[in-house]
A and B are shown apart, each in its own frame.
Chain A
Amino acid sequence: MASKVLQKPKSFYDIYERNPGTDKKMPHYCPGCGHGNVHKFIAEALDDFEITDKTILISPVGCSVFAYYYFDTGNIQAAHGRAPAVATGIKRAYPESIVISYQGDGDLAAIGTAEILHAANRGENLTVFFINNAIYGMTGGQMAPTTLVGQRTTTTPTGRNSRNEGFPIKVAELISQLHAPVYVERVALFDNKHRARARMAVRKALKNQVENLGFSLVEILSACPSGWKMDPVDSLHWIRDVMLPQFPLGVYKDVTKEVEPYPIDHFNPTAKETKELLEINTEKGDKKLTRVTPRPGFENPEIKVAGFGGQGVLLLGAALAQAGLLEDYHVSWLPSYGPEMRGGTANCHVNIRDIEIGSPMVSNPTVLIALNRPSLEKFEEDVVKDGLIIYDTSLIDIDVKRKDVKILAIPATEIADKLGNTRTANMVTLAAYAAYTGLFSKEVLYETLKSAIKRKRLQEINRKAIDEGYEFGLKNH
């Protein structure tokens, strides 16, 4: 029995080959350091639950950065404070694996505060071991977020001053306030009784993950004789006499009996299913539409559509591009975006071209479609000579000043109102443009509606809008 107790757990490597130092048998921790104890509890639990092979240990930055020297598990070394995020990534990839985030107090409660809080809050099915030694061990004894008020460290040489550095962070209390975690306990390593309790907590936290119950965290008050500049025995007393009153032990949360295990489902769609799920299986919608020849002067339009946000400006532009695509043109659509967008105005740039499109930006449109007065005023001057300006006379009470352009003035909003839906003014205008220039057939516009107007009940009214606009365009060219 005694020999069994002394045996090294199988979850540890026999020889620590990864340690570049000369001694590959001894751990790198200082005498009296708590990390070794916790490592052993973890290894024993992995042995007992027979989960060593599927365990992935995330080692932090801190004295336990080299935990991967010891554990015969999968090992990932993480950036300072990020272990819970790294753990989240690999656990999401392999939900059946057992993922441990092992962290010190600087790592977890200072630089990594956001990561631990949110991993806990998401209820990641992880096990976190949090070594609270009230100091930064690795970097030589600076203040930790858990350093006690009055405690001297190399960066609090006269003792932690709560007015300057605040108070120790109570991680177990904090995490237990969140809804998702299933088990949070604080334990301490200073005598056999408490070590036994810590061992049980480590086991339970791992068991929870084996059973897919969710997020568990064990905070372990642990000695750092080197950082505290004490001998190992005094360090144990210090935990008991000084740390304990500040960090009360106990189970802060345990809802493991009440929660349902996490479901793990694997869904691997076939190639065909994948394409359908991505909505890229368009073969069935493939409709060959013959291209109509536009009237001379209206080929390869570079269009700017502008108006108030809410007038369907972007949709009008997108419908133009879609119609162009249906006729097998090269097309591009670029929305106003960035500083241009302020003040509730919207515009977009549309190119419809026989050959490949260079710049998608339309600075000097050959066609300006202005749906409100500011747009007409703003962009009128940019239109090229002999270009086309289309504007909604129901909303724009000024005339086009330019004499060197073609003009199609259309009471689009009035027409739309008569149809019973103001918002179809954009489609009225689109159709008028198509008819006036001969760029698109009505059939193409109908087809365009199918993808441009998602809501079925709006299809019919927009078809009517296209009929009206088309007729207007034909009459007025």
Chain B
Amino acid sequence: MSKLLIKGNDALIRGAVLAGCRFYFGYPITPASEIAESAAKFMPRVGGTFLQAESEVAAINMVYGAAGGGVRVMTASSSPGISLKQEGVSYAAGAELPCLIVDIMRGGPGLGNIAPEQSDYNQVVKGGGHGNYKCPVLAPNSGQEMADMTGLAFDLAEKYRTPVYILADGFTGQMMEPVEFGDPLGALPRKDWAIYGDKESKHNLISSIFLNAEDLEEHNIKLQKKYATIEDNEVRVEEFMIDDAEYVLIGYGIISRILKTVVEKLRDDGLKFGLLRPKTLFPFPKKIIDNLSTRVKKFLVVEMSNGQMVEDVRLVVLGRSPVEFYGRMGGVVPSTNEIYEYTKSIIE
């Protein structure tokens, strides 16, 4: 099977179609627009639906409607659009609807700019909307993963009946890399909770209302149990040269690619550095970091933000080893050299 040289945003849609997604509702925004454009091209071709909604609010609610029908459905946007979708995501989490939301992050706050940032970590990984919920969050760092993680996202979404995010940045979306595609998924099994517009399914109810406090508490407890199961079973990481590492760099998305080059360079210098890349941000690789913190001299977390994921690392490490942070904001992507120099400075 040969590979195609295509943009991450384009790979994502083709991957989603192969994973059985036939419905896309979205509103254009740079740097996620190619996803909408790809969806506009491919969804109708394969008998699916592409609809440019009037807003991100409408788009996520269209997703909510279609997800209630048990079909594989997605939307994609970038940071300001994700802020708008939060109400809808909360409803979908409350009603336990599987769906895929893609966030190709850009610079903020406000209109910010269209350069890549990672400042949506908090609003995506921590729930973001109102209520006690979280969504699994996958963080690809290559074109191949942009394609492959769609399948994983839908599988997790259906397995746990939850919205799932793919959280990427402008670089991962815009970059072209060779991507290999597998075979399309066959027909999806019927879901016993969904509404198909027929007699068998009409007694199902898609709703997030629980009028009595006790009932809503019970529902929330059920959700928390689900999140705990996800934390137990679905952590995914990439480890690079970590077995004998004295220092561990932690980063996700495009930053992890830069960190990998930095680790290569540091290893050339004879320094024992390794890289831990969370591929899932919720669930966060707590156990792995916990184990590392008993033997690692120092952690360095690098993000294109004011330091959002680093808080999660610190919560696990609990002061057992120093956790340093290096961040750039506003869409400035740190260079390999810059991180390399910084890294050297913190080991002296």
Contacts and interface: CB of A to CB of B under 8 A. Distances in A.
A283 B2 contact: yes
Interface stretch (A130-138, A265-273, A433-441): A265-273
Interface string A86-99: 11111111101110
Interface string B307-342: 000000000000000000000000101011100000
A414 interface: no
Contacts of A52: 202
B68 A90 contact: yes
A58 interface: yes
A2 interface: no
B113 to A, nearest CB: 6
A437 B196 CA distance: 61
Contact of A275 (B67, B181, B199, B262): B181
Contacts of A359: 257-258, 260-261, 336
Contact of B204 (A74, A78, A79, A275): A74
A358 B257 contact: yes
Nearest to B70: A93
Contacts of A33: none
A111 to B, nearest CB: 10
Contacts of B178: 325, 330-331
Interface in A60-102: 65-66, 68, 72-79, 82, 85-94, 96-98
B336 A363 contact: yes
Interface stretch (B46-54, B157-165, B288-296): B46-54
B55 A88 contact: no
Contacts, number: 241
Q: Which of A269, A280, A451 has the most CB of B within 10 A?
A: A280
A156 to B, nearest CB: 27
B257 A89 contact: no
Interface in A439-473: 451
B113 A275 contact: no
A89 B66 contact: yes
A136 B110 CA distance: 32
Contacts of B1: 282-283
Interface in B50-104: 51, 53-55, 57-59, 61-69, 71, 73, 87-88, 91, 95
B32 interface: no
A361 B53 contact: no
A131 to B, nearest CB: 19
B67 A89 contact: yes
A337 B184 CA distance: 32
A360 B202 CA distance: 51
Given A65-B209, A322-B5, A337 B61 contact: no
A97 B69 CA distance: 11
A345 interface: no
B58 A280 contact: no
Interface residues of A, number: 74
Given A271-B184, A331-B5, A337-B31, A90 B46 contact: no
B206 interface: yes
B336 A56 contact: no
Contacts of A58: 65
A65 to B, nearest CB: 7
B199 A79 contact: no
A53 B199 contact: yes
B25 interface: yes
B51 A92 contact: yes
Contact of B170 (A79, A89, A337): A337
Interface in A319-372: 321-322, 325, 330-335, 337-340, 357-361, 363-364
Contacts of A20: 211-212, 215
A274 B68 contact: no
A75 B209 CA distance: 13
Interface in B1-46: 1-5, 14, 17-18, 23, 25, 31, 42, 45-46
15 contacts: A53-B199, A68-B205, A72-B202, A74-B195, A76-B195, A89-B73, A114-B58, A271-B183, A274-B18, A278-B17, A331-B177, A332-B176, A334-B176, A337-B115, A358-B264
Given A74-B195, A92-B49, A361-B336, 15 more contacts: A55-B202, A68-B205, A74-B196, A77-B206, A79-B91, A85-B58, A90-B68, A114-B58, A280-B181, A338-B31, A360-B257, A361-B171, A361-B333, A363-B335, A451-B5
Interface of A: 18, 20, 52-56, 58, 65-66, 68, 72-79, 82, 85-94, 96-98, 114-115, 117-118, 266-269, 271, 274-275, 277-280, 282-283, 285-286, 318, 321-322, 325, 330-335, 337-340, 357-361, 363-364, 451
| 10 closest residue pairs by CB, A with B | A89-B65, A97-B197, A338-B115, A358-B261, A267-B47, A85-B61, A86-B65, A77-B207, A89-B62, A358-B260
